[in-house]
């Protein structure tokens, strides 16, 4: 998929089919995160995958939208260690994974964490680790075909502030 078409057509989707994702797609998504740039190339992240049903059920109440985690084909927590403020790096890794998934026709949604201690315990993290965001992925319940519209049309339909509002030129 063309990169701009992927960016313009992607939406956060919260309802998935029950099926797990093919293993090669999971690897592709995780590799997209691994390949992300980071300050001084520190790669401060770990991608933690709760895999047993018990662990997914322990994590779900810790996010704002538990049903999204419970119904996902793949759950990836982006975790940072140490004191550094690397949330920008974590954001880059997260967005790479979301876009790589969409390139494979897989929908996804970031989940904010409501209860950090519960998420920390559910993910079996070390003391100096902290979860930043919980990403869910799944085969979409309603398929959307990115190529059904040109990127400009996806862009103009997007529920976003207009470009003139978000860009300020300081000549
Ligand atoms: C940091 C962050 C946290 C988010 N947390 C949640 C969440 O807890 N639950 C949820 O349903 N969506 C969550 N979202 C998704 C946003 O609601 C979504 O990005 C926004 O509504 C745009 O959606 P769209 O791409 O479908 O237009 C989160 C997004 C970000 C960037």
Tokens coding 105: 């026709």
Q: What is the pLDDT of residue 83?
A: 76
Distance, in Å, from the CA atom of 89 to the CA atom of 76, rounded to the nearest integer, reads 16
Nearest to 131 by CA among 114, 107, 108: 114
Per-residue pLDDT tens over the stretch 83-123: 777 999 999 999 999 999 999 999 999 999 999 999 999 99
Tokens coding 85: 């403020």
Neighbours of 65 (CB within 10 A): 17
Which top CATH class is 3-166? alpha beta
Per-residue pLDDT tens over the stretch 33-85: 999 999 999 999 999 999 999 999 999 999 999 999 999 999 999 999 987 77
Q: Where are the domains of the chain?
A: 3-166
Residues with Cβ within 8 Å of residue 106, at least 6 apart in sequence: 21, 25, 29, 73, 137, 138, 139, 140
Q: Is the Cβ atom of 160 under 6 angstroms away from ligand 1?
A: no
User: Ligand 1 centre from 109 Cα, in Å?
Assistant: 6
User: Mean per-residue pLDDT for 5-23?
Assistant: 95
Q: Is the Cβ atom of 149 under 6 angstroms away from ligand 1?
A: no
| pTM of the full structure | 0.95
Q: Is the Cβ atom of 112 under 6 angstroms away from ligand 1?
A: yes
Q: Is the Cβ atom of 115 under 6 angstroms away from ligand 1?
A: no
Higher-confidence residue: 143 or 154? 154
Residue to mutate (ligand 1; options 7, 98, 110; most atoms within 8 A of CB): 110
Largest CA distance in the chain: 56
Distance, in Å, from the CA atom of 13 to the CA atom of 15, rounded to the nearest integer, reads 6
Element (H, E) at 116: helix 116-122
Q: What is the pLDDT of residue 18?
A: 87
């Amino acid at each position: 998929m063309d990169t701009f078409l992927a960016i313009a057509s992607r939406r956060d989707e919260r309802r998935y089919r029950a099926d797990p994702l093919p293993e090669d797609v999971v690897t592709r998504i995780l590799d997209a995160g691994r390949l992300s740039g980071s300050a001084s190339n520190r790669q401060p992240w770990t991608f933690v995958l709760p895999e047993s049903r018990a662990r997914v059920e322990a994590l779900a109440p810790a996010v704002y939208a538990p049903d999204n985690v419970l119904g996902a084909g793949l759950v990836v927590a982006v975790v940072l260690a140490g004191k550094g403020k690397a949330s920008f790096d974590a954001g880059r890794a997260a967005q790479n994974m979301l876009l790589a998934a969409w390139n494979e026709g897989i929908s996804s949604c970031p989940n904010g964490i409501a209860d950090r201690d519960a998420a920390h315990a559910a993910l079996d993290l070390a003391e100096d680790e902290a979860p930043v965001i919980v990403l869910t992925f799944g085969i979409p319940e309603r398929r959307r075909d990115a190529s059904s519209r040109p990127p400009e049309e996806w862009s103009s339909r997007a529920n976003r502030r207009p470009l003139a509002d978000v860009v300020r030129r300081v000549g």
